Amino acid sequence: MKNEFDIFPKEETINRRKFDVYELRKDFPILSRLVNGKPLVYLDNAATTQKPSSVIENIKHYYTFENANIHRGLHFLSELATESYESARLKVKEFINAMSASEIIFVRGATEGINLIANTMCRANILKEGDEIIISHMEHHANIVPWQLLCERKDIKLKVIPITDDGELDLDEFKKLISEKTKLVSVVHISNSLGTINPVKEIVKIAHSYNIPVLLDGAQAAPHVKIDVQKLDCDFYVFSGHKMFGPTGIGILYGKTNLMNELPPYQGGGDMIRTVTFEKTTFDDLPHKFEAGTPNISGGIGLGTAIDYINQYDRLELTKHEDKLLEYATEKLLEIEGLKIIGKAKNKASVVSFVIDGIHPYDIGTLMDTYGIAIRTGHHCTQPIMQRYNLPATARASFAFYNTFDEVDKLAEGLLKVKKMFQ
């Protein structure tokens, strides 16, 4: 059967833009502003990324020329808005190579995607008393707390894959944690505080050999690496629009059709039903079953535009640039006496977490801000990682493809100034 979402034409093949970081930066208006009288050096991309003009303009265009509610009206604007929104869904489908656009559920972000799966698996009794869920020690709170809330409700046990001192998952220990009670494995693709790129394909393979489904938290992966959910063969994949140059308040839950069909709706309301009587309600097909109420229409459209933006470039060129930045930053930072990098996995992406002897990370962050340099300090919503390394917090610089080697130099110079002040 032809899927209703396949009515929208595929994007024309785009002529790739040559990667030139200084040209590309012009597309991001915020990058040329001053902060504290200094040119902004934005190195907090793991928290959220900046937006290109095309995303900003397209949201404006939507509200200026297309605004209407979707899926329900037959009038011109409603059809236009529906087409823009649904073509964004198709772009997401292509972006992660899902089998069908109906496997793409618009949610608020990675957090909501995980909560949706946790809640509906619980209500469907796929997760029940005595079951076990495996997560890892390097999860963001978004991939810990939803499962803990379940555990409280149903006496489900959470098991945790340990990490090595370098910040890699211990796969031998993972295998030992699997039992006949394991009903789900939920792990992060790329760690937001260590930068580790986990061997998720292998994890999926191991879990599937026991018929256990796998959810991957791709919040940090979507902006940095090419995602192919069919190749990964994961069952669920979540990510957030705002971390990949799109707007806040929009994100994606990918789920394999057969599994998503087994789950009940997450929320009830308009747009997710087929028929409603006071006696019984029947639900719409995927993806609408999971999209109750008026969605974040402009957010979805903005996310589609962010994907268009990324697609202008050869993804490998962007990744290569980010890899070089990471390598250069690691080198420069290790030259600073007393600085220790937390997270030394062989396979890493775009994040350098560090501590400096005798200086609290909060002081580092506050002083760096006075130089116009935005880095993150704290536990990065990964308190168990801080406990693992016995640290109260780390400072973290995280890169996007619009960052430059000059900015890495400024980061290192800034840190040297901070050190001097504390001597």
CB of 110 or CB of 303, closer to ligand PMP: 110
Core vs surface per residue 267-299: b (16+ CB within 10 A) or e: eeeebbbeeeeeeeeebbebbbbbbbeebbbbb
Give the residue with the Cβ less far from ligand PMP, 46 or 349: 46
**How many CB atoms sit inside 10 A of residue 262's CB?**
13
- CA-CA distance, 90 to 9, in Å (whole number)? 9
**β-pairing verdict for 182-188 and 214-217:** parallel
Q: Report, in Å, the least distance between residue 137 CB and ligand PMP.
A: 13
Would you say 40 and 33 are in contact if contact means Cβ atoms under 8 Å apart?
yes
- The residue type at 259: L
| Least distance (Å) between residue 222 CB and ligand PMP | 10
CB of 13 to ligand PMP, least distance (A): 31
Helix axes of 405-422 and 361-370: crossing angle, nearest 10 degrees: 120
Residues of this chain that interact with ligand PMP (CB under 6 A) are 46, 109-111, 140, 142, 188, 192, 217, 219-220, 240, 381
Q: CA 351 → CA 45, 95, 151, 296, 344, distances in Å?
A: 9, 23, 32, 30, 10
State the minimum distance, in angstroms, from the CB of residue 109 to ligand PMP.
3
Count CB atoms within 10 A of the CB of residue 30: 12
Encoding tokens for residue 297? 């229409």
Active site residue 381: yes
Closer CB to ligand PMP, 87 or 220, in the complex: 220
DSSP-assigned letter for residue 196: B
Minimum CB distance to ligand PMP smaller for 218 or for 414: 218
Nearer to ligand PMP, 52 or 109 (CB): 109
d(CA 141, CA 160): 13
Nearer to ligand PMP, 84 or 198 (CB): 198
In the complex, least distance from residue 108 CB atom to ligand PMP, rounded to whole angstroms: 7
Out of 122, 151, 234, 381, the active site residue is 381
Cβ-contact 288, 269 below 8 angstroms: no
Give the whole-angstrom CA distance, residue 135 versus residue 114.
12
b/e 325-352 (16+ beta carbons within 10 angstroms → b): bbeebbebbeeeeebbbbbbbeebbbbb
Is the CB of 356 or the CB of 393 nearer to ligand PMP?
393
**What's the closest the beta carbon of residue 346 comes to ligand PMP, in angstroms?**
19
Tell me how far, at minimum, the Cβ of 179 lies from ligand PMP, in Å.
Answer: 26
Supply the residues annotated as catalytic: 381
